[in-house]
């Protein structure tokens, strides 16, 4: 939700900030804006994508070696020019960019209006910069003091950067619950919501913690204090990411690149964890907490979106192999429903970004209630990763396409490793089955590569159904969460209404929707309940639905009753989701491209949802 970038140093700020905004556009693309300091404070902002801002600013004065920029996912106020960030103080001295929500902005705004402040926008952010202005004037304090005082008054989440006409050599940044990274270059500093705008300039970064304020001055050492003014010693870390990983590398879209990266990203998730010679699995976080896992009453997964679908697969895997009861919760529900938790519960958050506000809050609640908390995140150094007692990074590499693909299969890889580790430690799996599954897991990257070879066929199928108004996805057992994920992918990027259902549950409602216009994607590999799925597909056929079967190589029964079949290699059903999801990702991708949709940045969505 919203991306922020800032620069101060010896280079021109605008090109750096603009490029950074393009990298952060996955976080929101309702509007974009920059503030630059020449002799004047120049603010340029425009509704729509960063390219609109770029066109608008083309002929403006862009000279400045300090600048801040923002790309917005609208929460308070419509996505128009006025509500775009940066917002400035009433006296035109200060400008702010903000990712997050100031929850008590209304009360603060009323108070400030009484004191004569006039607001231009409907945003919560403008209230914050007026509050800072008010404190400077009223208490006659420095900018950094005023920022600290104001942050003591606000309730909510923020990652902010402030630029000041009277202090052209200074930027003030602060965070609470929204991510913020500071890059330390040679006599220059970068600030951003994630490391992607920074990576090509420096690998040395500081991740600001909650309620910390950074005073960043040209030619000086960075200074960090908390909002009570306690000095903090900055901890500089080295980024592991490389530049190629965040570029398209010849693919038309990031999503396609990320789909094709899955043989490598799944391999990366297993690296150092699955010994391909001995077949032994070691998952660091689980080893560390072995006693807790062995004595756990329950494992509760909290997640949102695609990560929630992975959690469902995890539930099937862990209950199946390790015989530990598992629950899967929408993080947004869990955090507000007063759940029963004890010290014998392990709460595992699954999150690609590691920044999803609901997931983070659910985890914090679990911690408060004494549960052990664990994170499965992709983004190294993210808020969830840092808040947890232990965890496993998925190591899928940066995922830029808003619709999650390689993060999903990486999460499932970790969950498979987790289920295998727990099962082995609990003695709930035979040696032979363990060996069989680890061998097959090791072969998954190759099998994913084989499924990717069906791309042209999938494109052809996409052409046949691109104009459908609805889609139904059916799956049973391990393939039920895959059906949900397939439907979500299609909705997200092609705007076609789609539902995922357990195949047998179809007769309790969705069957009423089936007619000759309804494409039904049936994930019907040779799993335990194969015959039952075939019967479910017969029920669709009897009502003239169009069947697209995702089947195991060599399948005859489903081919005979389907309009199309996409064959995938045979594997144990435990590992099926890792390959059965691939054709669904490609199908939604091609349909979205054919419908002229913005695949990487679908309307109204954002990749990192840092608001409730």
- What's phi and psi for 509, nearest 5 deg? 160, -70
- From the list 67, 28, 74, the residue with the least C-alpha distance to 50 is 28
As measured in angstroms, the least distance from the Cβ of 350 to ligand G6P is 7
| Cα angle: 86, vertex 92, 98; to 5 degrees | 25
C-beta contacts of 453-461 below 8 A and 24+ residues apart: 454/566, 454/567, 454/568, 454/583, 454/586, 455/586, 457/566, 458/566, 458/583, 458/586, 458/587, 458/590, 459/586, 459/590, 461/548, 461/564, 461/566, 461/587
607 binds ligand G6P (CB under 6 A): yes
Residue 328 or 429 with smaller CB distance to ligand G6P: 328
In this complex, which beta carbon is closest to ligand G6P, that of residue 529 or of residue 598?
598
Select 121 or 404, whichever has its Cβ closest to ligand G6P.
404
2 belongs to the catalytic site? yes
Q: Candidates 71, 177, 307, 552: give the one binding ligand G6P (CB under 6 A).
A: 307
Q: How far is the CB of 573 from ligand G6P (least distance, A)?
A: 24
- Residues between 382 and 401 with contacts to ligand G6P, criterion CB under 6 A: none
One residue of 137, 222, 380, 605 binding ligand G6P per CB under 6 A: 605
Q: Whole-number minimum distance, CB 609 to ligand G6P, in Å?
A: 5
Ranked by CB distance to ligand G6P, the top (closest) residue is: 305
What would the DSSP string read from start to end of 327-341? EEEEHHHHTTS----
The residue among 125 and 307 lying less far from ligand G6P, judged by its C-beta, is 307
Should residue 609 be labelled a site residue for ligand G6P when binding is judged by CB under 6 A? yes
For residue 67, give the nearest of 8, 137, 149, 143 by alpha carbon. 8
193 touches ligand G6P (CB under 6 A): no
Distance CA 366, CA 551 (A): 40
List 45, 257, 406, 607, catalytic entry = 607
Pick from 326, 308, 328: which is nearest to 318 by CA?
A: 326
Return the bridge partners of 327, or none: 300
Task: Write out the binding residues for ligand G6P, residues 150-189 only, by CB under 6 A.
Answer: none
Stretch that binds ligand G6P, among 50-58, 129-137, 348-356, 511-519 (CB under 6 A): 348-356
Q: Which of 352, 269, 275, 314 is nearest to 574 (CA)?
A: 314
Strands 156-164 and 94-102: antiparallel
Distance between CA atoms of 420 and 321, rounded to whole angstroms? 7
Could you say which residues in the range 64-83 bind ligand G6P, by CB under 6 A?
Answer: none
Sign of the C-alpha dihedral computed for residues 409, 411, 415 and 421 taken in this order:
positive
The residue among 174 and 609 lying less far from ligand G6P, judged by its C-beta, is: 609
Hey, what long-range contacts does 559-568 have (CB within 8 A, 24 or more apart)?
Answer: 561/534, 561/537, 562/522, 562/537, 563/464, 564/461, 564/464, 566/454, 566/457, 566/458, 566/461, 567/454, 568/447, 568/450, 568/451, 568/454, 568/525
- Give Cβ neighbours of residue 40 (< 8 Å, ≥ 6 apart): 165
Which stretch of DSSP H or E encloses residue 482? helix 479-494
Of the candidates 67, 285, 305, 500, which one interacts with ligand G6P according to CB under 6 A?
305
The correct pick among 196, 212, 306, 585 for binding ligand G6P (CB under 6 A) is 306
Catalytic site residue 377? no
Query: Between residues 148 and 491, which has the closer beta carbon with respect to ligand G6P?
Result: 491
Q: Residues in contact with ligand G6P, total (CB under 6 A)?
A: 16
Q: How far is the CB of 483 from ligand G6P (least distance, A)?
A: 16
The CA-CA-CA angle for residues 463, 466, 471, to 5°, reads 125
Question: Is the distance from CB of 179 to CB of 245 less than 8 angstroms?
Answer: no
Exposure string for 45-62, b = 16+ CB within 10 A, e = fewer: bbbbbbebbbebbeeeeb
Alpha-carbon dihedral sign for residues 394, 398, 401, 402: positive
Please state the closest distance from residue 265 (CB atom) to ligand G6P, in A.
15
In angstroms, what is the minimal distance from the CB of 319 to ligand G6P?
22
Spatial separation of the C-alpha atoms in residues 101 and 177, rounded to whole Å: 10
Residue 606: how many CB atoms within 10 A of its CB? 23
- Whole-angstrom CA distances from 31 to 27, 256, 446 are 11, 25, 42
Site for ligand G6P in 349-368 (CB under 6 A): 351-353, 356, 359
End-to-end CA distance of the chain: 10
Closer by beta carbon to ligand G6P, 302 or else 514: 302
CB of 612 to ligand G6P, least distance (A): 13
Least distance between ligand G6P and beta carbon 27 (Å): 10
Nearer to ligand G6P, 82 or 380 (CB): 380
Stated length of the chain:
612
Between 44 and 73, whose beta carbon lies closer to ligand G6P?
73
Span of 212-220, 294-302, 345-353, 514-522 interacting with ligand G6P by CB under 6 A: 345-353
464-493 residues near ligand G6P, rule: CB under 6 A? none
Site track 542-581 with ligand G6P (rule: CB under 6 A), x = hit = ----------------------------------------
- Shortest reach from residue 253's CB to ligand G6P, in Å: 15
Q: Segment 402-441, which members bind ligand G6P (CB under 6 A)?
A: 402-404
Q: Kindly tell me which residue out of 163, 304, 390, 482 binds ligand G6P, with binding defined by CB under 6 A.
A: 304
Task: Provide, rounded to whole angstroms, the least separation between the CB of residue 558 and ligand G6P.
Answer: 30
Q: Which of 2, 304, 377, 597 is flagged as catalytic?
A: 2
CB of 359 to ligand G6P, least distance (A): 5
Contact string 261-300 vs ligand G6P (x = CB under 6 A): ----------------------------------------
Number of Cβ atoms within 10 Å of the Cβ of 3: 33
Closer residue to ligand G6P in complex, CB, 119/495? 495
**Comparison of 75 and 464: residue with beta carbon closer to ligand G6P:** 75
Q: Which residues are catalytic?
A: 2, 607
- Site residues (CB under 6 A) for ligand G6P? 304-307, 351-353, 356, 359, 402-404, 605, 607-609
């Amino acid at each position: 939700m919203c991306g922020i970038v800032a620069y101060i140093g010896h280079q021109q700020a605008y090109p750096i900030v603009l490029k950074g905004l393009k990298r952060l556009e996955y976080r929101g693309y309702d509007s974009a804006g920059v503030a630059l300091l020449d002799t004047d404070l120049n603010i340029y902002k425009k509704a729509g994508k960063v390219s609109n801002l770029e066109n608008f600013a083309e002929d403006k004065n862009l000279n400045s070696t300090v600048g801040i920029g923002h790309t917005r996912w609208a929460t308070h106020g419509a996505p128009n020019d006025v509500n775009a960030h940066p917002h400035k103080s009433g006296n035109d001295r200060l400008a702010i960019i903000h990712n997050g929500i100031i929850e008590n902005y209304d009360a603060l705004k009323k108070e400030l209006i009484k004191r004569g402040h006039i607001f231009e926008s409907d945003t919560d952010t403008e209230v914050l910069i007026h509050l800072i202005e008010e404190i400077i004037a009223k208490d006659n304090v420095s900018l950094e003091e005023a920022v600290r005082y104001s942050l003591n008054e606000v309730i909510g989440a923020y990652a902010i950067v402030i630029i000041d006409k009277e202090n052209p050599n200074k930027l003030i940044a602060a965070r609470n619950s929204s991510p913020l990274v500071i890059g330390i270059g040679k006599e220059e500093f970068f600030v951003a919501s994630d490391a992607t705008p920074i990576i090509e300039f420096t690998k040395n970064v500081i991740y600001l913690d909650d309620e910390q304020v950074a005073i960043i001055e040209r030619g000086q050492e960075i200074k960090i204090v908390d909002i009570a003014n306690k000095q903090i010693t900055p901890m500089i870390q080295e980024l592991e990411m490389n530049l190629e990983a965040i570029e398209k590398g010849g693919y038309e879209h990031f999503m396609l690149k990320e789909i094709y990266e899955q043989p490598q990203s799944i391999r990366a998730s297993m690296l150092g964890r699955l010994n391909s010679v001995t077949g032994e699995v070691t998952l660091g976080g689980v080893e560390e907490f072995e006693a807790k896992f062995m004595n756990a009453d329950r494992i509760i997964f909290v997640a949102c979106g695609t990560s929630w679908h992975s959690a469902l697969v995890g539930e099937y895997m862990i209950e199946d192999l390790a015989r530990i009861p598992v629950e899967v919760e929408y993080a947004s529900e869990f955090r507000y429903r007063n759940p029963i938790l004890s010290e014998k519960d392990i709460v595992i958050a699954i999150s690609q970004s590691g920044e999803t506000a609901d997931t983070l809050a659910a985890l914090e609640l679990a911690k408060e209630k004494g549960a052990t908390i664990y994170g499965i995140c992709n983004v190294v150094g993210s808020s969830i990763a840092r808040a947890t007692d232990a965890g496993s990074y998925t190591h899928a590499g940066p995922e830029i396409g808003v619709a999650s693909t390689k993060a999903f299969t990486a999460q499932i890889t970790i969950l498979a490793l987790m289920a295998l580790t727990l099962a082995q430690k609990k003695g709930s799996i035979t040696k032979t089955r363990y060996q069989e599954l680890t061998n097959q897991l090791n072969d998954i990257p190759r099998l994913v590569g084989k499924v990717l070879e069906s791309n042209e066929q999938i494109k052809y199928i996409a052409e046949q159904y691109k104009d459908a108004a609805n889609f139904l996805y059916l799956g049973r057992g391990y393939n039920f969460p895959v059906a949900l994920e397939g439907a979500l992918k299609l909705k997200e990027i092609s705007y076609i209404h789609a539902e995922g259902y357990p195949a047998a549950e179809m007769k309790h409602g969705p069957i009423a929707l089936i007619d000759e216009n309804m494409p039904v994607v049936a994930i019907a590999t040779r799993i335990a309940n194969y015959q039952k799925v075939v019967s479910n597909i017969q029920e669709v056929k009897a009502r003239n639905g169009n069947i697209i079967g995702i089947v195991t190589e060599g399948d005859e029964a489903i081919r005979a009753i389907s309009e199309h079949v996409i064959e995938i290699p045979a594997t144990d059903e435990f590992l099926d989701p890792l390959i059965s999801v691939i054709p669904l990702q490609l199908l939604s991708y091609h349909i979205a491209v054919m419908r002229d949709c913005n695949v990487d940045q679908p309307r109204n969505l954002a990749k990192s949802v840092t608001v409730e």
